[in-house]
């Protein structure tokens, strides 16, 4: 098991299980030294199966902060969120950015409740997805990009359009010194899917990481845990690593994301 994980959910998002404290205990048991909570950010509309409601944000923050104190001798806990770049929600996002230790960007929709990143199937849609990532980096909204390849979830072919998008994301990563995540969550946990050009995990996707390796983009492993038990096994981690086997990736091991977030937050606008 890795020692540092910045991508952890709680049951508030409606698709994770277990109490907050169960995640802390399991992380300690699994050998983690640094645990970042990054539950799905709340916005003005409610989607109880996707993210917490605005009314739960205060309680979420209080719960994680009290666990940080309670377990401070055993593990370093940080309070974050997995946010999307939605310009319509900028006031809410700027509040989160100010209050939280860090933010990771998981662009699950192109716009709030519109065009799921899990359903993209044209180069134009991929390009809109990357536009959001670019805007988020330019405005220092996030400290790393979670599952940058989630946009390929439904994409039918691993063709040149995919490589072009990967090149663009790699360029953004280098321009803004923005780490990209190798995600070991549901993309591998749920097994391989069949696509018109063969079987693969929904994400991570090798063609993306080939481009990330070429440009030496910083890469951080994120467990994207929605079940505390998954801190105790390396099965999904090994699946994700098998996707990028043989690539010369610039892994940031035990990276202090909270410190880099402190500096980035100053640049947010
Ligand atoms: Zn989730
Ligand atoms: Zn996500």
Report percent pLDDT > 70 for the chain.
100
265 CA → ligand 1 middle, Å:
24
185 CA → ligand 1 middle, Å:
9
Residue 160 pLDDT: 97
Do residues 42 and 54 lie in contact, with contact meaning Cβ atoms separated by under 8 Å?
yes
Question: Would you say residue 176 has pLDDT above 90?
Answer: yes
Asked whether the bond before 122 is cis by omega within 30 degrees of 0, the reply is: no
Question: Would you say residue 27 has pLDDT above 90?
Answer: yes
Ligand nearest to the CA of 146: 2
48 CA → ligand 1 middle, Å:
11
Total length of the chain: 269
Ligand nearest to the CA of 84: 2
214-246 pLDDT tens trace: 999 999 999 999 999 999 999 999 999 999 999
191 CA → ligand 1 middle, Å:
17
222 CA → ligand 1 middle, Å:
12
Instruction: Provide mean pLDDT across the span 38-47.
Output: 97
Query: Mean pLDDT, the chain, as a whole number?
Result: 98
Q: What does the block give as tokens for 198?
A: 């063969």
| CA dihedral angle for residue 73, residue 27, residue 76, residue 59, rounded to 10 degrees | -100
Among 154, 164, 152, 145, smallest CA distance to 224 is for 145
Among 139, 104, 107, smallest CA distance to 258 is for 104
Q: Give, in degrees to the nearest 5, the angle at Cα 24 between 21 and 30.
A: 140
Give the DSSP letter of residue 202.
Answer: S
Q: Which domains does the chain have, with CATH numbers?
A: 4-267 (3.20.20.140)
Ligand nearest to the CA of 183: 2
Torsional sign, CA 238, 239, 241, 247: positive
Model confidence at 1, pLDDT cuts 50, 70, 90, reads confident
Report how far residue 119's alpha carbon sits from residue 109's, in angstroms, rounded to the nearest whole number. 9
226 CA → ligand 1 middle, Å:
7
pTM of the prediction? 0.97
186 CA → ligand 1 middle, Å:
9
148-165 pLDDT tens trace: 999 999 999 999 999 999
Instruction: Provide mean pLDDT across the span 88-95.
Output: 98
């Amino acid at each position: 098991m890795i020692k540092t994980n910045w991508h952890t959910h709680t049951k508030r998002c409606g698709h994770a299980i277990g109490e907050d404290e169960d995640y802390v205990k399991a992380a300690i048991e699994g050998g983690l030294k640094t645990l970042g909570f990054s539950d799905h950010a709340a916005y003005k509309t409610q989607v109880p199966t996707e993210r917490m409601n605005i009314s739960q944000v205060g309680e979420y923050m209080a719960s994680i902060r009290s666990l940080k104190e309670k377990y401070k001798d055993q593990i370093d806990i940080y309070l974050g969120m997995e946010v999307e770049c939605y310009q319509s929600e900028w006031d809410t996002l700027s509040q989160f950015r100010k209050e939280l230790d860090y933010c990771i960007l998981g662009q699950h929709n192109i716009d709030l409740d519109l065009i799921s990143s899990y359903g993209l199937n044209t180069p134009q849609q991929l390009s809109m997805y990357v536009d959001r990532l670019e805007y988020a980096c330019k405005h220092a909204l996030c400290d790393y990009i979670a599952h940058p390849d989630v946009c390929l979830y439904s994409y039918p072919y691993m063709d040149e359009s995919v490589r072009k998008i990967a090149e663009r994301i790699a360029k953004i990563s280098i321009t803004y010194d923005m780490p990209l995540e190798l995600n070991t969550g549901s993309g591998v946990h749920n097994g391989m899917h069949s696509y018109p050009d063969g079987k693969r995990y929904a994400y991570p996707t090798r063609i993306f990481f080939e481009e990330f390796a070429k440009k030496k983009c910083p890469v951080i492993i994120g467990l994207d845990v929605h079940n505390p038990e998954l801190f105790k096994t390396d099965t999904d981690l090994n699946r994700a690593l098998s996707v990028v086997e043989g690539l010369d990736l610039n892994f940031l091991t035990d990276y202090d994301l909270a410190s880099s977030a402190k500096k980035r937050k100053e640049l947010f606008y």
